[in-house]
Structure 1
Amino acid sequence: MSDPGTALLKQKLRGAVLARLKALPADVRTRYSGDLRNRLAPILSGTEPMNICLFAPMAHEVDLMPLLQNHPQHRYHFPLCLPGRKLAFHLVREPSEDLVPGILGILAPKPSLPLLPPEAADLIIVPGVAFTKDGKRLGYGGGYYDRYLPLCRQARLVSTAFPEQMQDALPHDIHDCTIPLILTADKG
C-alpha cells in the first residue's frame, strides 16, 4: 500500500493524464491505435500460437481488438475482475459473443469461458494510465495487475501508450510492477 503522500500524488497524476486522454479527438486515438497495433505486429507475427492476455479498451484507451483478426493464430484471453481485487483471464474467441459489460461497464469475458492459468500466459499486454521510458507504470489504482503479473513468471510483459501517457517520472511503490517494453505511438 502507498504512503498517503505517494497515494495522493498518484491520484492527482492519474486524474491529469486521464483528462488529457479523454480530450483527445477520436481520429487521433484511432491513428495512435493503428500505429500501436503495427508496433506490436513483429511480436505477434510468428506462426507458433501464443496465449496472449489482452484487454477490451475503454473509450480513451488504445484499441487493440483488431489484433484478434489480424493475428488469428494466437489465443486471446481477457481479464475478469474477481473479489479481493484479483484477476482471471478467460479465452475469448468471438468478442461480440464472449465479452459482456463488467465492472464500470468495461467489457469482460463470461466466467464460463476457459480459464488461462497464469503460468501459461506467453504475452501480457498491460493497460495503464501513465508510463515512463524505463518501464514504470501508473495503473488505474485497483492494483489488479500488480497482484496478477508476479504469478506469470514466463510471460513477456508489454504496454502500449499514447504520447500523452508518457511521463519523465512516476511515483513508484515496491509492489508496483515494472513493464520491460513500452511501445509508444508516433505523434507524427
Structure 2
Amino acid sequence: MTSGGGTTAGDAKRALRSEVLARRARLTQAERAEGSHAIAERVEQVATLRHARLVALYAPLGTEVDTGEIGRLILGRGGKVAYPRSVNGDRRLEFCLCAPAELVQGPLGAREPPPDAPAIDLADVDCVVVPGVAFSVDGHRLGRGGGYYDATLEAMPRAARVGVAFEVQLVASLPREPHDAALDALVTEARALAFSRESR
C-alpha cells in the first residue's frame, strides 16, 4: 500500500532488512558464538519451549543465531527436534526428524534434512524456533523475504512461536502486512520477551 507516492510496506521491509543484516554482519564470530550460547541458556525461561516434546529448529544460515546448543538441550531432556525442508513448488516448509549431522545443503542455501528423511505432521509440533532478520519488541518478525515461515506458521496454529535473535536485530516496530506471522516469545542474549498472539 502506498499513499501519495510514499513507500510501500515491501519497500520499507527491504530497506530495514539491508540495515539490520549489515548490523548483524558486524558482529564478530566470537560475539555470535557467545550470544548464541547465552540465547540457548535464556530460551529455557520460555515455558512453551521448556515443556515442548517436539521442537522445530532451523539450521543457521550465514550470521544467524546458531541453534545447535538449543537442540542439544532439548534432546538432553528427552525431547525431539525437527528441521525444515523446502518443498518443490510450495511456499510452505515441511519439518523432518533429523540429527544435525545428517543435514545437507538445500536449494535455498540453508542446511536441511536429506530427501529421504520422513516429514512429520505439522500438528505434532509443540514449538517452532523461528529465524528472522529483524524483530520488534512487540513480537513481530521480518524474515529473509521469501515468506516461507509466514505461510508455514499459518498452517500450524497450535505450535508456540519463539523467535531467537541478537540484540542488534531488535527494532521498536516493523512495517507489517496481513500475512506476517506474530510471535509468542522472543529471546536474545540479553532478555526473553513474552507476547499475547491473540491480542494482535
Asked if Structure 1 and Structure 2 have the same fold, meaning a TM-score greater than 0.5 normalized by the shorter chain, the answer is: yes
Residue 86 of structure 1, aligned match among 82, 92, 101: 92
Counterpart AA for 2:129:
I
The answer to whether residue 11 in structure 2 is matched with residue 8 in structure 1 is yes
Question: 2:100 aligned with 1:95, yes or no?
Answer: yes
Give the distance between the partners of 2:136 and 2:84, measured in 1 at CA.
24
Q: Does 1:122 align with 2:129?
A: no
For structure 1, the residue ranges without an aligned partner over 5 or more in a row are none
Amino acid at match of 1:75: K
1:104 Cα offset (Å)? 4.0
One-letter identity of the residue aligned with 1:130:
A
Q: Quick one: which of 145, 149, 156 aligns to 2:153? A: 149
Number of aligned positions between the proteins:
182
**What is the RMSD computed on CA atoms of the aligned residues?**
1.8
For residues 88-134 of structure 1, the C-alpha deviation after alignment (integer angstroms, 9 at most, x for no partner) is 00111x221x2000124310111221211111110100111111111
1:77 counterpart = 2:121: no
In 2, Cα distance between the equivalents of 1:38 and 1:32? 10
Matches within 5 A, 1:24-173: 24-42=27-45, 43=47, 44-46=49-51, 50-72=53-75, 73-82=78-87, 83-92=89-98, 94-96=99-101, 98-173=102-177
Structure 1 CA distance, aligned partners of 2:26 and 2:107? 23
SS state at 1:154 partner: coil
TM-score, normalization: structure 2?
A: 0.85
Instruction: Name the amino acid aligned to 2:159.
Output: A
TM-score with structure 1 length normalisation? 0.90
